Structure 1
C-alpha cells in the first residue's frame, strides 16, 4: 500500500530507522524478505517509505533484527501517526505528483533555501501575483483548479511562517522587471518583498541587474530543504519546464548546490539592501 499523498517526515524517519536497524544487525535485504515471506522489493519499498508501515511486518522485521523492547516499542507506538496522511492530502487535486514528496519534506524543514532565475520565488509570491502567473503556466486548468493551486501555495507559506522555519531566498533584480499581472499586482508584490526585511526568519537577497555571472547563473529554480532530523538528509529540488522536477538526495550533489548558493549569496548585496522598486517610506 503506497502512502496516499506522499510520506510524512515521521514515516520517512521510521522507514530509515528500519533500514539502519537491518544494517546494524548484519541482515541482508533478502534475509529480511524471507522473514516476511515476501520479495526483497517489499523490504526495499518499506525502507524507502514507498509503502505504508504495516504493524505485523514491522514487528516481524524488528524481531528478525533482534531489536530489544526498549528500542522496538517506541517504533511500534509511532506507526499510527506515521501512517496518517499529511495535511496536504486534501490538496492532491491541485498538486503535481512530485510536489507531494517535496511538500512532505518542506512541512518539517527547519531551513528552506530557494533561488529563481527569472521570477519571484514562489514562497514569497502574493496571491495576486501567483494567480496571474498560473494563468500563463497552467492554461489548460479550469479557473477552479488554478484557484486551488493558489490556495495551496498560501497554505504552504502560512505553515512555514507559523512553524518559524527559516526561509532564505535569492532572486535576480530582473524578476522585478518581469511583468506578471498588471501594475497593481506588481506593486503589491514589490511591497511584499520590501517588507521582508522586517519579517523574522526570512532573508531575501537580490542580484543587481548589472552584476557579473555568479555561481547560480544558468541554473533552474532550486530549493534546498533541511530537516532537523538525522535520519532525513538534505534535499535539493530543481524544477524542470513542463511541470516536472528533479529531487536530489545524494549528499555530494546536494552539497554542491549548497556551495553554489553560498557563493551566489556571498556575491550578492547583503540582506536589507533596498530592493529595486521599493515602496518609498511615508
Structure 2
C-alpha cells in the first residue's frame, strides 16, 4: 500500500491558526461547516492538517470568522507553499505511513532527541548498518526498495546537517555489542559514531553495560522533536517495533516523556565520554 503524503510544518501551522481563529471568534465547528456547506468533520480535518488547504474553503472560513485583511491576506499568501509536497514525497514508495508524519515535523525541527534501548539510533546509523537492519526488519522488500530506504535516511541526515539542527542521542553500550551485518559493518558504525561525537550539533551519550537502571530502561524507542514554531509544540514519537508508532502532541504527555528522557540523560555518562570498548 502506498504511503500518504504527510503534511509539512507550514501546513500544520496554518491549520492550527485556522482553529485558533475559529475559537477566538466563538464559532462552532457546525457553524464553520455550514459556511462551507460541508460536514463538521471537514472542518475538523482541515484544522488537523489531515487534508489539503483549499483556497476557496480557507477564504470562506476566514470571512466566517470575521478575520481582518491584515491577518487573512498573509494566510492566503502562504497557502500555495503549505500545499506543496515535502521533499520526502519522492521517497514515499519506500516509507511507512507514520514516517511521513514524523519526517514532516523532523524536517523543520531545531532539535531531535532520541533514545533507543538496543540499537544505534536511526539518525546515527551508517548506510551499511541501516541496510543490514532493513534486511531483517523488511524481509519482504526488494533490494531496490531497501536501498531507497537507505537513501532516505542519508538525505534526512544531510538535511539536518545543512540547517544546523541539533541531534542528541542516548543508547546503551549493548547496541555496540549487537552485531548488525558483518564485522566491517560494526567497525564502520563505531568509527562513524566517534566522528559524529566531534560534530558541533551532535551529542551522543552511551549507557555502560554495568550501569544501574535509569528512567528509560526497557522503554521502546522514544524521540522528541522541537519545532521553532509557536503554533506547534514539541512532538513525542513512541515506537513499538512491528506493532505501532504513536505520535504524541499533547503538551502534558510530551512533558512527561521529556522529563524521563532528561532524567535518563542526567544519569548517563556525560557527552564526550569515549565509546566503551
1:27-69 alpha-carbon deviations (Å, 9 max, x no partner): 1111101111111001000000011101111111101111000
Aligned equivalent of 1:169: 169
CA distance in 2, matches of 1:137, 1:244: 14
CA distance in 2, matches of 1:64, 1:19: 12
Q: Secondary structure at the match of 1:31?
A: helix
Gapped runs of 5+ residues in structure 1? Answer: 278-282
Correspondence 1:179 to 2:179: yes
Whether contact under 8 Å (1:105, 1:227) holds in the other structure is: yes
Whether contact under 8 Å (1:5, 1:89) holds in the other structure is: yes
Aligned equivalent of 1:276: 276
Gapped runs of 5+ residues in structure 2? Answer: none
Correspondence 1:23 to 2:47: no
1:127-156 alpha-carbon deviations (Å, 9 max, x no partner): 000111111111111111111111111111
CA distance in 2, matches of 1:107, 1:243: 25
Q: Give the length in aligned residue pairs.
A: 275
Q: Any runs of at least 4 consecutive aligned residues in structure 1 with deviations exceeding 6 A, and if so which?
A: none
CA distance in 1, matches of 2:163, 2:243: 28
Alignment of 1:214-229 (within 5 A): 214-229=214-229
1:190-229 alpha-carbon deviations (Å, 9 max, x no partner): 0111112210111000000000000111110111011010
Aligned equivalent of 2:95: 95
CA distance in 2, matches of 1:243, 1:130: 20
Normalised by the size of structure 1, how large is the TM-score?
A: 0.96
Q: 1:130 to 1:243 in 2, by over 3 A?
A: farther
CA distance in 2, matches of 1:188, 1:148: 21
Correspondence 1:119 to 2:152: no
Q: 1:55 to 1:62 in 2, by over 3 A?
A: same
CA distance in 1, matches of 2:150, 2:57: 40
CA distance in 2, matches of 1:84, 1:171: 36
Cα offset, 1:26, TM superposition: 0.6
Q: Secondary structure at the match of 1:198?
A: coil
CA distance in 2, matches of 1:52, 1:131: 34
1:46-99 alpha-carbon deviations (Å, 9 max, x no partner): 000011101111111101111000110000000000000000101001100100
Cα offset, 1:4, TM superposition: 5.1
Q: Secondary structure at the match of 1:114?
A: strand
CA distance in 2, matches of 1:243, 1:119: 18
Q: CA RMSD in A?
A: 1.1
Aligned equivalent of 1:81: 81
- Please say which of residues 193-202 and 71-80 is displaced more in the overlay: 193-202
Aligned equivalent of 2:247: 247
